[in-house]
Amino acid sequence: MKRYFLLLSLAIITLSSCLKTEQQKPPVVVDPVVQAATDDAAIKTYLAGHTDIVATKDTSGIYYQIVTPGTGPNPTPASTVTVAYTGKLLNDIPFDTSAGFTAQLSTLIPGWIIGVPWVKAGGRIILLIPSRYGYGSQDYGQVPANSVLVFTIDLKSFQ
């Protein structure tokens, strides 16, 4: 009986080692200065094709348009925000959307930490986020590495 158990165990180990496992792609590492210039050029091209967006470039490199400023005080990175949002790539294909998402702002991508405090409760903002303030050099779900992100965010409330 022990011999059969040993043979069965060896067979299972051998077969399981043959199973193909999904491997995570390594980060696509590029020179940050080159990537920043590439992202900025891509954002400018996107804006040229989307004349309905009149964006301002922040010193961080993030472009934004405050569509509706909202009222009251502005949130801080320590705030817990409730938002509705849509995230797209520069090809206008959405990769994420939510009608009601709540999180502490400081736990989100850097582009949100920088950009969301520009609006108040009830406000809407469009953020064009260079890859270094998004998901960087790593693939993230449907978002390829080094992707510029476009978010339309409605700040419903915050605490």
Structural domain of 67: 26-158
Domain with residue 112: its CATH number is: 3.10.50.40
Residue 12 lies in a domain: no
Residue 10 lies in a domain: no
- Split into its structural domains, the chain has a count of 1
Residue 90 lies in a domain: yes
Residue 15 lies in a domain: no
pLDDT per residue as tens digits for the range 63-113: 999 999 999 999 999 999 999 999 999 999 999 999 999 999 999 999 999
- The pTM (predicted TM-score) of the whole model is 0.82
| Long-range Cβ pairs for the range 96-105 (8 Å, 24+) | 96/141, 96/142, 100/156, 104/78, 104/79, 104/80, 105/75, 105/76, 105/77, 105/78, 105/79, 105/80, 105/81, 105/158
Residue 113 lies in a domain: yes
